[in-house]
Amino acid sequence: MHIKLYNTLTREKEDFKPIEDNRVKIYSCGPTVYSYPHIGNYRAYLFMDSLRRVLKYNGYDLLHAMNITDVGHLVSDADEGEDKMMKAARIEKKDPYEIAEFYMNIFLEGLEKLNISKPEIICRATEHIKIMEDYVKKIIENGYAYETDKTIYFDTSKLDKYGVLSKIKIDEQKAGARVEFDQQKKNNVDFAIWIKADENHIMKWDSFWGKCYPGWHLECSAMSQHYLGDVFDIHTGGVDHIPIHHENEIAQSKGATGKIPAHYWMHCEFLQINGGKMSKSLGNLYTLDDLAQKGYEPLVLKMFNYGSHYRTQINFTWEALNSAKIALKRLKEGYAKHLVGKENIDRTVIDEFEEKFHKEINDDLNLTNAMSIVWEVIRYPKKSKDFADLLRKFDEVLALDIDKPMKQMEVIPEEVKKLVADRTKARAEKKWDLSDEIRNEIIKLGYNVKDTKDGMVVEKI
Ligand code: AMP
Ligand code: ZN
């Protein structure tokens, strides 16, 4: 069965044709690990999970790389301000490497909690500096870069066209531009690829241009080429990546190899909160832990996400999350009824449901429509184990643990939660005595904390 995918590059739903017959190569822009990932961030990875699972359902093998940005992402995507890692390190009074390790692990734990199938390759920017340096040299050698006092910039005027993905006109961008951060920059949309580190910049490396660190966009071009080759099948990210980050990745690849690096560019829309943006200052930025504290297990968020197609904005409200919780519970109950069902179902009925489900997921990952087929199966009046088998097959794509009971989420008081976070930090810093002291305080408040292979678990005593 054909798969159709919406390609931001062409603004069309296209028939998917991989470069190799049986294997699909994907690159996904990963998180910048300078603070707790929020439920909006996870929308981008739930979308990535659906893509992986749908391709696998169609019999493809995957070679998928995702980066972890632990250096070089400045406060503005357009290369202005401080490195986000350095800023977090300054605020938390920690080493930026510690910050990266801590938040990367939280992010990866979140992927597991959400049953997100992990990419085959997870690559950290700081572990690929030499590869990036070689990539910069290639861009320079090909004549697509220039130096200012502090930065090597990509010269966008050397390209036949800049802005192929977002379809922006450079002149329009110029007209709306703010005062330049670096007066030596030649064109407004030129961007940093290699940056000279100040003395107090901790993350820096010896290079052909002295002690430097890479620009954010560079890591994705260099690592995707390293792991997947000059041209691969699919590149994913959030819609915020379209106008700058992905545009710049394309520019860099054209500069280094002369090619656009991926055939299909897929982007997921944003999760909004109460119709607006999530932000720390508005106090409406939620993490998986915040959800758990209110009694919502992570898979409820996954169920909630299936309520909208990945290319439409989705509005988060606690009411909607609660409806998703009820729906997930009913789904599992419906599965359980089929599992013990004794009625005979004609094979053609099963096959028809399977085909309808398959058709929907292959239509640009329409999990929302696919869910309505799932509900038809759940509500089918005759109960049969064959339907339970079918639902488990659907769950290879949905990954909602349909055959497992709902998790009882303990509502943990703020005070205990804070102590648990302090203890996690103490353990990351190998301060074992402090960790034990904090544990005793947690016990005094009536909770126990256990270290399991899946991470820290907090329970009422
Ligand atoms: P960052 O850590 O800021 O680089 O973001 C990691 C991923 O989360 C990127 O793919 C972003 O596009 C995505 N993202 C950030 N905020 C949201 C949101 N509110 N809804 C959906 N995706 C988001
Ligand atoms: Zn990227």
pLDDT in tens, 250-309: 999 999 999 999 999 999 999 999 878 787 667 788 999 999 988 999 999 999 999 999
Any domain includes 406: no
Same domain flag for 127 and 242? yes
Note whether residue 283 is domain-resident.
yes
Q: Is the CB of 125 under 6 A from ligand 1?
A: no
| Separation of CA 74 and ligand 2 centre (Å) | 13
Going 295 to 297 to 301 to 304, the CA torsion angle's sign is: negative
- Which bound ligand lies closest to the C-alpha atom of 66? 2
Do 341 and 367 fall into the same domain? yes
pLDDT at position 79 over 80: no
Q: Which ligand is nearest to the CA of 29?
A: 2
Residue 38 beta carbon below 6 angstroms from any ligand 1 atom: no
Q: How many domains does the chain have?
A: 3
Q: What is the pLDDT confidence band of residue 447, given thresholds at 50, 70 and 90?
A: confident
pLDDT confidence band for 177 (50 / 70 / 90): very low
Given a cut of 90, whether residue 454 has pLDDT beyond it is: no
Ligand 1 pocket: which of 69, 240, 271, 287 to mutate (most atoms <8 Å of CB)?
Answer: 240
Query: DSSP 3-state assignment of 295?
Result: coil
- Supply the range of the domain harboring residue 201: 10-268
Which amino acid residue places its CA nearest to atom 13 of ligand 1?
A: 41
Question: For the whole model, what pTM was predicted?
Answer: 0.88
Write down the pLDDT at residue 156. 95
Residue that has been written with the tokens 């070089």 in this structure: 72
Which 8-state DSSP code applies to residue 223? H
Q: What is the CATH number of the domain that holds 250?
A: 3.40.50.620
- Ligand 1 pocket check: which of 26, 27, 41 to mutate, most ligand atoms within 8 Å of Cβ? 41
Alpha helices in 277-366 (DSSP H): 288-293, 298-305, 318-339, 347-362
Residue 178 lies in a domain: yes
Shared-domain flag, residues 191 and 227: yes
**CATH label of the domain that carries residue 354:** 1.10.730
- Among 344, 372, 398, the domain boundary falls at 398
Of the listed ranges 143-152, 316-325, 401-410, the one predicted with least confidence: 401-410
Residue 310's pLDDT is: 98
Residues 446 and 461: their CA atoms lie apart, in Å, by 6
> Does any domain span residue 379?
yes
Torsional sign, CA 125, 131, 134, 140: negative
